[in-house]
Amino acid sequence: MNFRDVAVLGGVGAVLLVANAACALAPTDSGPADSQDRSERVERVGFAESALRATYETGGESYRFIDTHDQYGHTGRIDKNDFLYFHKVNGKRAVGLTMDCAWVDAPNAAEVLNVLKAYSTKITFFISGPFIFQDYRRGLEGGLDRSNFANIKRMVDDGHEFGNHTQTHPHNNQSINWTRETEELERGWDAVIAEIYRGQALPTNARMTNFWRAPYGEYDTRSLGLASKGGFPNHFGWNVDVKDSVGYPDCREEPANRACLSPKKLTDTVLAFAEQNEWSLDGFVILSHLQNPYNWGSKPEGLARLLDTVRAKGHVVAKISEMFAETIPDGPHEPPPAADAAEPGDTCAEGCIYSSFCVDRNVTAKRYASADGTKLVCVKRGDCSAACVGP
Residues 130 and 212 grouped into a single domain? yes
Q: What is the mean pLDDT of residues 163-186?
A: 95
pLDDT on residue 75: 66
Q: How far apart are CA 310 and CA 120, in angstroms?
A: 13
Beta strand 53-58 with 283-289 is unpaired
pTM: predicted TM-score of the whole model, two decimal places:
0.75
In tens, the pLDDT along 288-344 reads: 999 888 999 999 999 999 999 999 999 999 999 999 876 543 433 333 333 333 333
pLDDT digits over 184-193, tens only?
999 999 999 9
Average pLDDT over residues 63-80: 72
Do 312 and 381 fall into the same domain?
A: no
| Residues 304 and 357 occupy one common structural domain | no
CB 231 within 8 A of CB 164: no
What integer pLDDT is reported at residue 271 of this predicted model? 97
Same domain, 98 and 128: yes
Query: What does the alpha-carbon distance between residue 235 and residue 213 come to, in Å, rounded to a whole number?
Result: 6
Q: Is residue 243 part of a domain?
A: yes
Out of 4-18, 276-290, 364-378, pick the least confident: 4-18
Single out the residue of 80, 88, 52, 129 nearest to residue 239, CA to CA.
80
Tens of pLDDT, residue by residue over 74-113, are: 568 887 776 777 889 999 999 999 999 999 999 999 999 9
Q: What is the pLDDT of residues 121-133, one digit of tens each?
A: 999 999 999 999 9
CB contact at 8 A, 178 and 228: no
Question: 358 with 309, same domain?
Answer: no
Question: Quick check: is 334 in a domain?
Answer: no
Residue 277: per-residue pLDDT = 93
Residues 310 and 355 in one domain: no
Residue 49 within a domain: yes
Query: Could you tell me if 78 and 223 lie in one domain?
Result: yes
Residue 209 pLDDT greater than 90, yes or no: yes
Q: Are residues 207 and 11 in contact, defined by beta-carbon separation less than 8 angstroms?
A: no
Determine, yes or no, domain membership for 337: no
CA-CA-CA-CA torsion for 85, 287, 322, 54, nearest 10 degrees? 40
Domain presence at residue 46:
yes
User: How high does pLDDT run on average in the chain?
Assistant: 76
Q: Of all helices (H) and strands (E), which one includes residue 155?
A: helix 149-157
Residue 286 lies in a domain: yes
Residue 307 pLDDT: 98
- The residue segments making up the domain with residue 102 are 3-323
Do 202 and 304 belong to one domain? Answer: yes
* Tens digit of each residue's pLDDT (9 = 90 or more) over 8-46: 333 333 333 333 333 222 222 333 333 333 222 222 233
Which of these, 94, 83, 84, 151, lies nearest to 121 by C-alpha position?
A: 94
Residues 365 and 299 in one domain: no
Q: Is the same domain home to 268 and 354? A: no
Residue type, 257: N
Structural domain includes residue 329: no
pLDDT-derived band at 353, boundaries 50, 70, 90: low
**Where are the extended beta strands (E) located within the chain?**
3-4, 17-18, 53-58, 61-67, 94-101, 124-127, 161-164, 211-212, 234-235, 240-241, 283-289, 316-318, 352-355, 357-359, 365-367, 377-380
| Over residues 353-369, mean pLDDT | 44
DSSP assignment of 196-207: HTTTSPPPGGGS
| Residues in contact with 206: Cβ distance below 8 Å, sequence separation at least 6, in sequence order | 156, 162, 193, 197
- Label residue 224 exposed, middle or buried (CB < 10 Å: 0-12, 13-18, 19+): buried
Domain count, the chain: 2
Q: Give the span between the Cα atoms of 139 and 161, in whole angstroms.
A: 22
* Residue 331 in domain: no
Q: Inter-axis angle of helices 178-196 and 149-157, to 10 degrees?
A: 90
Q: 189 and 45 in one domain?
A: yes
Same domain (yes/no): 268, 389: no
